[in-house]
Amino acid sequence: MRLDDPWCDALASGWSDRDGTGAPAPERPLATGDGPTAGPSAGDIYLEVQRSEAFQEVRARYRRFVVPACAAFLVWYLAYVVAATTAPGLMARPVAGAVNVAMVAGLAQFLTTFLLTWAYARHARLRRDRAALDLRWDTQEMTRAVGR
């Protein structure tokens, strides 16, 4: 049984599918019965799944978490770097003994990295994994039908 990789055969919508002039190429209809097998090819199935409402919802849930989380973490990191370079007096202020504000903020960078990783894994488990697994299962079933 030979499995073709549909990602090599078909590009995702909007990814380098140009008509030579720089404009997007017109969308092709799904292949129906032109070849020896009736029905769409595996590449067409993946494109159909990518355009589906369920796939778009999984991607939207991903973006709704990742974009704000990355922006917040980047702001926090840049604030630390800017404070370290522009306010050395503030960063050198002792907090407890030899521990100063810069050390506490640096350790807080590590802590927020771990917290963000935990939050991402929790979000994925609770909000996306089941829907993504269902999509994967459905896609595999559709491509298996094409391979028969």
Output the DSSP codes for 72-116.
HHHHHHHHHHHHHHH-HHHHTSEEETTEEHHHHHHHHHHHHHHHH
Token pair for 76: 């926090």
d(CA 148, CA 134): 22
Reduced to 3 states (helix: H, G, I; strand: E, B; else coil), residue 72 is helix
Per residue in 55-88, pLDDT (tens digit) is 888 899 999 999 999 999 999 999 999 999 999 9
CA dihedral 47, 51, 54, 57 (to 10 degrees): 120
Q: How far apart are the first and last CA of the chain?
A: 9
Q: What tokens appear for 59 in the block?
A: 């991607």
pLDDT range class, residue 26, cuts 50, 70, 90? low
Confidence of residue 133 (pLDDT cuts 50, 70, 90): confident
Maximum mean pLDDT: which of 21-30, 53-62, 139-148: 53-62
Does residue 143 or residue 76 have the better pLDDT?
76
| 132, two tokens | 């993504």
Model pTM score: 0.61
Looking up tokens 């994994």 gives 129
d(CA 127, CA 131): 8
The beta strands (E) that lie in the chain are given as 94-96, 99-100
For the segment 26-45, the average pLDDT, to the nearest whole number, is 60
Which three-class secondary structure state does DSSP give residue 53?
A: helix
